[in-house]
Amino acid sequence: MPLINDYQRGWALRYLREAKAELTAAQKLPYMALSLILEAVKKAQAAVYHSLGDPASVESIVRQAVLQSKPLDDPVLRCIVAMERMVEQVALFPDTNRQEAFEQALELISLASDIVELFVGDGTD
């Protein structure tokens, strides 16, 4: 039995495709790279949230977990919180660190792709 419906599956796959496209565009347009990279990581994050069900609920759970100072026992939540921190880190990169931001985004999109594939199934490439 699938964890999500076709609507959420469609959005998860769409956001993942768009994240990859934004990252490709960031390589081709260096003057817009940081904004495109940030958009790419946010879309990758949205893809993960949609693949887990209701994105608003997932976001709320993640926000609460980020604010807590105690260690997280749930491995999925720990991974998603780490992803949230990566998104925040990319948002703070100065314009001079485009390559580092790009590498961080590439890693995050790869992680998002694995998560979406795990929860949604085929069609992530």
Instruction: Give tens-digit pLDDT for 73-90.
Output: 989 899 999 999 999 988
How is the chain split into domains, by residue range?
6-119
The domain made up of 6-119 is a member of CATH 1.10.4160: no
Q: Phi/psi class of residue 74: alpha, beta or left (left: φ > 0; alpha: ψ in -120 to 50)?
A: beta
Q: Among 82, 74, 83, 75, which residue's Cα sits nearest to residue 47? A: 83
Q: What pTM does this model have?
A: 0.89
For residues 90-112, give the mean pLDDT: 89
